[in-house]
Chains A and B, each alone.
Chain A
């Protein structure tokens, strides 16, 4: 485990245990403790990555492979937005409020464990913790949809865990170790390809299911729609990316050392990535519910990351990592905004909404920034990550994939424009008449994230230097 980042795992765990005691007589202490823990962690991470000496050395002194630091940053950022939003969104008298914050912090600690682990078995242990906390967080909303989503999540992701553990057993049997460093060495050596490819295929299948990639996406729309909106933001923004997509990227980088002997596996991953992009985008076009549309959009965007991971070239991996980070920012904004709309208008049915732009201008315009970034419109951050992925496909001679990825980016813009017109622009509906803008604390996370989306887009050359260091360390 990356020791420099160990504190980012232990401190949220400690705070999670402390919360039920501290909030026993003062429920608000749960909000304060959770937010202060994550804010302090984020400040420390910012110092680690952006101190003057670090920038002067062009990120040469980054701890570990640099990827862990970046992803821990994304985890803390989304976690902070979700806890801050929840503090004003959740019912004051919710009986399990302290447990809700404890679960969120354990989830943050588990995700930190996933991205700082140096061994596939350790990663598996933390992914399982994440599955348990996610299941409980989805059921926080006791509606029928929430329970249905949680059950679907359970029935699809726990068999996925069985596939992963069988795959790990086969890798352990044939390679004698599960540490990334040893796997890298063994895969570069002249080992028999059959059993290793089989084990890797089972592990990848498990993580594909956990990522909600098509055709294993059935649980994602129900889970995201059924859960409380901040929980949806947490799940869609970061949890599924860390519990599934991160491991796929990790496995794809290891397979690069296999010297083309697992080519079929990489090609399958790319195909599923493209299928996910297409099915997610087309399904999103047909949705009538705001949150459900965002869920399908999330499936589509995960497809871009999986496609790039399957390609596995340095440029593609830079694009995959950057798109993963970007997805955390823009999807969090959109899900939190859907929560604001639900709070204000009382519904997320897009046929009943319309004209909210006049009464909810901040929510409307932060949505515009996030949707443009998702669709890959310059100069926002999403443009750069999609450009890198498409360029990597083009450079590798996969021009059909590149053109289709570009084409579905336009479809992304189309379904978001339809959403924006139905929800925020156009004529005011009855529901919109009595829908005031939500309070400043509920807007703050979306505004901060939008600032980050713009800043990452405009300062991309600096961020590219960081990503290049990461790619060099994980591949070369």
Chain B
């Protein structure tokens, strides 16, 4: 594995842990956006530009705007109830153990897996992939969006009533 790619993977892991550990929700949202940015760079690096463009525009762009908008609405409430941080201290430790184990075992594992690899039935244009090959997954995504909207509608009216 060459160095720039390794840096991108390390940054993705770092931003992910930061997003979970951050005290402020706003920092979490920004770190999550940075995770999406590094992941989209990984997609570009692996020759999947369409996945990179979607990741960058939707996850790093649109969703971050939504998160920051929501955080700014509830921020004053959150600051009144500081949460206990004790249980979060285990996370960096677990991540460190996983990273050390991964450093030793994952490269040979993937080297071995590459030996078994069989080319996928892909190819063609983005339109062909979305509308022909993975049409059902798009339907799943529409359902996921609808579910997300109804989850928000289900949770927030109660909060405002109280």
Contact = CB atoms under 8 A, between A and B. Distances in A.
Interface string A1-37: 1000000011001001100100000000000000000
A270 interface: no
A113 B136 contact: yes
Contacts of B118: 173-176
Contacts of B93: none
Contacts of B2: none
Interface stretch (B22-30, B38-46, B53-61, B139-147): B139-147
Given A95-B158, A102-B153, A192-B116, A122 B137 contact: yes
A170 interface: yes
B113 interface: yes
A136 B140 contact: no
Contact of A176 (B119, B151, B155): B119
Contact of B146 (A106, A119, A172): A106
Interface string A120-155: 011001101100110110011010000000000000
B131 interface: no
Interface residues of B, number: 28
Interface string B118-162: 111100000000000011110111111011101101110110010
B136 A176 contact: no
B137 A99 contact: no
Contact of B158 (A96, A102, A182): A96
B117 interface: yes
A201 to B, nearest CB: 15
Contact of B155 (A20, A122, A136, A173): A136
Chain B contact residues: over half helix, strand or loop, or mixed?
helix
B147 A129 contact: yes
B120 A177 contact: yes
Nearest to B138: A125
A448 to B, nearest CB: 27
Contacts of A109: 143
Contacts of B161: 95
B105 to A, nearest CB: 13
Interface residues of A, number: 45
Contacts of B120: 172, 176-177
Contacts of A236: none
A176 B143 contact: no
A192 B140 CA distance: 32
A436 interface: no
A122 B139 CA distance: 9
Interface in A249-307: none
Contact of B136 (A99, A122, A195): A122
A113 B139 contact: yes
Interface string A96-113: 101110110010011001
Contacts of B142: 13
A132 B137 contact: no
B157 A96 contact: yes
A20 B143 CA distance: 16
Given A13-B142, A106-B146, A136 B116 contact: no
A132 B152 CA distance: 11
A161 to B, nearest CB: 13
Nearest to B154: A99
A337 interface: no
Contacts of A98: 153
Interface of A: 1, 9-10, 13, 16-17, 20, 95-96, 98-100, 102-103, 106, 109-110, 113, 117-119, 121-122, 125-126, 128-129, 132-133, 135-136, 139-140, 142, 170, 172-177, 182, 192, 194-195
